[in-house]
Structure 1
């Protein structure tokens, strides 16, 4: 009696796979770019918003903080609903609410209203982690890496380009313009997706209350060893990544280089190369599995530490080292995320959204810890201390990966 339902489930998965054609995949990647960009474009508007609202720049930065806090809450509170609700309806609702929040932010008469609207928009700007499980259910398992790589490329593009979009538009039309334009774009995408996304039934998540659904996210961390492993890899690498970018701002604006804050933003554009690399990492993951890709990415992360350490030389040599080091680190971190995401999404078809929430929570906790540790490493040992912290993080992940591979070889004998 149990074999027949499994056969029907596999057949249904195969017939549904062609629903995600190239055009729809590009549309979903664009949606990820716009949704992720909503979290970052306001960073370029702080001085203009402060002048427009008659507050200090430090106070105006509250809107940016509210957006980030809202996004963190949305990942935990809203993304798990993807295991209970039809994806098309959930995604359209989230995008619609985000558009309304951005519209309210663009029309905000005071800073408290702007901060509240920004927080609400950040709360619902979780389209990217909702789209990942949706797309994984629309393709065959041997294409999930490719799809994860395309979606990651879109998210990276949105993160990198949104600041330039926000700054350029605000300089010409005022600080409210980026909010209003972003609201129109995301509301239009919500309408397009309601007409193009295939109707998919909600996953067969276990019945229970909403609180039980949230608790299931934590339970998965206890029961799924591969989820814990993927979360550990990403947490350690993201911690090193965050530490480097925390220290890099201090290095570039310090006496060694004496550059302005805009130089840090230009360095961030180095990460644009990852938009090309993540789809390749996805295809390699489909072909060889996540573990070999993880190994290459962890070795790349470790190798970036001595390259970045050469940045203490200053001058042209130091700048070249910093560019090459940040490029290697960005590519390794983002491609490793593709491999980890592919592994996580393949664990349980009925819990992809909760698995995504648990994994992303581990990643962001690691990133937050890395920023704090990076600042302290700078205080204690300067830029070499930050690079040493990156090496420690990468080594910890490599040791865990080596232990897994060794255990598998011994079990195979």
Structure 2
């Protein structure tokens, strides 16, 4: 079951990333500029962000099989519409739909956390994250090959076939029950979301409940200290990570290296090793708790900054620094994500969908801020300025972690 969920997460994540390689083909095929075609990527990412906010919380209300299979079917329809799009406008609309409904990764994460014992959540989170990383890497590689051989519509058709096939498999194997625990509160006590819904006057009852559900992630963020800590750690580390990858193309194509833009993709392939490491990190979270793993990861991010800074030297030594530093940064960021997710899942069992929404929204806000800061720092201080952002954001997270280690979650009890 967990392997199938990891496969579903990989296919879903791939739907967000393969549009990055179809932009030139879209420009030629639809007769638009490259800048206009690039809006397909932005539309997909904007849809994904909207799906996190609007759809992931439904995991606390709708049975998982119905929600996951339904979203996969809608994603498949969106991909088919995109494959046959006659104009850029239709393609952009399909991209928004595809991005919004392909938020399967966060949902299967909350489902898997409820399927296994507390002492195995780290390992399972690592496996699911590896599936997502595999989908990200393979979708870019396979998508690029399909565009070159068959045109820009081919990746959408292949992605639609994979998505619909996964939907049919999960329809058969996922348990029909398994309704979220929040729907069965002991003693008949209404949840905070239902109490808020009762105060939303004139709207129909389902609308009131849904609006109240959307407000719950913010309420949880305010009221749950462990959630706030995980959000802070991931937002800061992801900001540094995004700063690096938003500006590294500027370094590689600049005078220090003079390489084509495709060199960034080749460098990113080094990080495929993360797929092997994240399950190992998950086992360490299960054994030692999220706190010690978070500590190691934050220190590793800080260490990666001077290694990455060697990239300013250019030539073979600089490229070695970029390869080793980016790998260390990616391993630390992804392993820290496993620790943060386990911490978040342990806050409240019946609200994992809303907890995940708050966590991922904060992470993406941090990433967006980091991308902007990275390009701004590169323009003013060059590559060393970008590496300084990596060190500074991780140092702030480390200081907060050291100040609050006594309140972190202990290791989960191990069952023989």
Q: Same fold (TM over 0.5)?
A: yes
Match in the other structure for 2:287: 287
Equivalent residue runs for 1:4-403 within 5 Å: 24-199=1-176, 200-205=178-183, 206=191, 207=194, 208=197, 209-403=209-403
> Structure 1 residue 109: deviation in Å?
0.3
State the distance in 1 between where 2:147 and 2:181 align: 42
Partner of 1:16: none
| Residue deviations 1:292-329 (CA, integer Å, cap 9, x gap) | 00001000000000000111111100000110000000
Deviation at 1:62, TM superposition (A): 1.1
Instruction: Give, in whole Å, the separation in 1 of the partners of 2:392 and 2:180.
Output: 42
User: Alignment partner of 1:201: what SS?
Assistant: coil
CA offset digits 1:205-224 (Å, max 9, x no partner) = 52341000010111000110
**Residue 172 of structure 1, CA deviation:** 1.1
SS of residue in 2 equivalent to 1:38: helix
What SS does the aligned partner of 2:216 have?
Answer: helix
Q: How many residues align?
A: 385
Inter-partner Cα distance in structure 1 for 2:239 and 2:10: 23
Distance apart, 1:268 and its partner CA = 1.1
Q: Distance in 2 between matches of 1:186 and 1:228?
A: 34
Cα offsets for 1:379-402 (capped at 9, x unmatched): 111001001111100100000011
Cα distance in 1, alignment partners of residues 117 and 100 from structure 2: 31
Residue 10 of structure 2 aligns to a residue whose secondary structure is helix
Larger CA deviation: 283-292 vs 166-175: 166-175
User: How far apart are 1:405 and its partner, in Å?
Assistant: 2.2
C-alpha offsets along residues 17-74 of structure 1, whole Å, 9 cap, x if unaligned? xxxxxxx111110110110000010111111111110111111111111000000000
Question: CA 1:314 to 1:29, structure 2 compared with 1: closer, same or farther past 3 Å?
Answer: same
- In the aligned structure 1, how far is the partner of 2:357 from the partner of 2:182? 17
Out of 335-344 and 170-179, give the one that drifted further.
Answer: 170-179
Is the Cα–Cα contact under 8 Å of residues 61 and 179 in structure 2 kept in the other structure?
A: no
- Unaligned runs of at least 5 residues, structure 2: 184-190, 198-208, 409-416
CA RMSD of aligned residues (A): 1.0
Structure 1 unaligned segments of length 5 or more: list them.
1-23, 409-413
Structure 1 residue 406 displacement after superposition:
6.0
How far off is 1:407 after superposition?
7.0
Post-superposition offset of 1:358: 0.3
Q: Aligned with 2:182: secondary structure?
A: coil
Name the CA distance, whole Å, in 2 between partners of 1:287 and 1:404.
20
- What's the TM-score, normalizing by structure 2? 0.91
